[in-house]
Homo-oligomer: A and B are copies of this chain.
């Protein structure tokens, strides 16, 4: 049954992305396959390749959605009216909570590795920047005497650091040091970093 036109190209795209998300949540990154996605939306593999360049492209699109979801999750949980310290701690906690709640989706954000030297597309970088931006906004009140650039740098350093703690913990590369939870480690980081940054 060719040209069913039951669904537009864009509809198929969205259906495929939904199906892919469901599969990743249920079976993890490795459980994802073109045939499974196609089957889940009642199309064949061939059709998938009309809509996506390849599986990596599909994964990248799912990741794009995940970044959007992450941004909304963080925005809903930040404490914009608190002081910088509390605000950044809220962000860190929210990030960790997202990673722990949506582990398969969050994992996929970093399991997808570009070929050596090939950067991610611009639209993807912008989504990333949007997430980083939340930390910049939170950090600003603490240091409005500093340059825009310094704040951006510090925000990214902080963000990457929280991410590092989070990723090593979730992937079992760092056992609980003295019973300290992931959140407590992140707090230790933010507290000490800010104390230095304020000085």
Contact = CB atoms under 8 A, between A and B. Distances in A.
A133 to B, nearest CB: 12
A111 B111 CA distance: 6
A85 to B, nearest CB: 11
A185 interface: yes
A128 to B, nearest CB: 6
Interface bin, chain A? 35 or more
Interface string A138-182: 000000000001001110110111111111110111110110100
A61 B119 CA distance: 30
Contacts of A167: 110, 163-164, 167
Contact of A160 (B113, B168, B191): B168
Contacts of A163: 164, 167-168
Nearest to A182: B160
B165 A160 contact: yes
A66 interface: no
Contacts of A157: 165, 185, 188-189
Contacts of A132: 174
A28 to B, nearest CB: 7
A96 to B, nearest CB: 12
Interface in A39-60: none
A18 interface: no
Interface of A: 28-29, 103, 107, 109-111, 113-116, 119-120, 125, 128-129, 132, 149, 152-154, 156-157, 159-169, 171-175, 177-178, 180, 185, 188-189, 191-197, 199
